[in-house]
Amino acid sequence: MNPTAGVLALVGGGEWTEGCSFDAELLAAAKTDEVLVLPTAAAYEHPERAVLAAGRWFAQFGARVEGLMVLGRADAEQDRAAEEVRRAAFIYLAGGSPLHLRSVLKDSKVYAALREASMAGAVVAGSGAGAMVLTDPMVDPRGGALTVGLGLVDRFTVVTQFGDEHQDAHGEKLHRSVALAPRGLPVVGIPERTALVRGVDGQWRSIGERPVTVFLNGSRAEAGLDVLNS
């Protein structure tokens, strides 16, 4: 990944709730008071509610939110939508269905614009599904195997809502993701209200309520984030 790209934040879930104070830092990095939210992953779960929740959350930091309602494939191919993304200084992908989000954005004009914006210095954040799809490979939420993602990050894959028993009661999906990852590909577990953040220097760090956990070659990596930064 080009170290001159903008800040990238992969959030484990629980976005825009108490404990996600790192969003203030992301706003400062973006040098803006406007956040462009794509509720694409929540297309079938009242996406407008995601935009409203983001608006209430970012208001405390003196920022306003604009929702870009890219909910289906046709929306993602609109030149106007792509231009809004391209001009944004802070782009946030909400949580929801990672498979729907991937099917809408994969090889689309909007995703091409997101890549351009990131390389031009924009801050990009994704939470839950929004974080999962930005990697390639990405974890398949149906069973933990690996599948094709969007590829903004290609050095590792992530398991979001890490440690949440409601999402993976017996840890079977996590075990499968770790076991099936190709040798040398880290799998990073990110808890809710925690962000794995890449700075403009290309280095990764963890901020938020709990630390991230890095797995490599089938087991927990004692080196932790040093695995990603080597």
Check pLDDT > 60 for residue 169.
no
Whether 190 contacts 160, CB under 8 Å: yes
pLDDT band at 10 (very low <50, low <70, confident <90, very high): very high
Q: What gap in Å lies between CA 22 and CA 30, rounded to an integer?
A: 13
Q: 85: Cβ–Cβ under 8 A, 6 or more apart, which residues?
A: 36, 38, 68, 91, 110, 113, 114, 117
Among 8-12, 38-42, 135-139, 176-180, which is the least confidently predicted range?
Answer: 176-180
For 211, the 3-state DSSP assignment is coil
8-229: CATH topology: Rossmann fold (3.40.50)
Q: What gap in Å lies between CA 62 and CA 134, rounded to an integer?
A: 28
Summary mean pLDDT of the chain: 94
- For 119-163, list the strands marked E by DSSP: 123-127, 138-139, 146-147, 157-160
For residue 93, give both structure tokens.
Answer: 């992908």
pLDDT of residue 157: 97
pLDDT tens digits for range 79-112: 999 999 999 999 999 999 999 999 999 999 999 9
pLDDT tens digits for range 28-77: 999 999 999 999 999 999 999 999 999 999 999 999 999 999 999 999 99
pLDDT of residue 166: 65
202-219 average pLDDT score: 95
Q: What gap in Å lies between CA 107 and CA 104, rounded to an integer?
A: 9
Q: What gap in Å lies between CA 224 and CA 128, rounded to an integer?
A: 21
pLDDT band at 170 (very low <50, low <70, confident <90, very high): very low
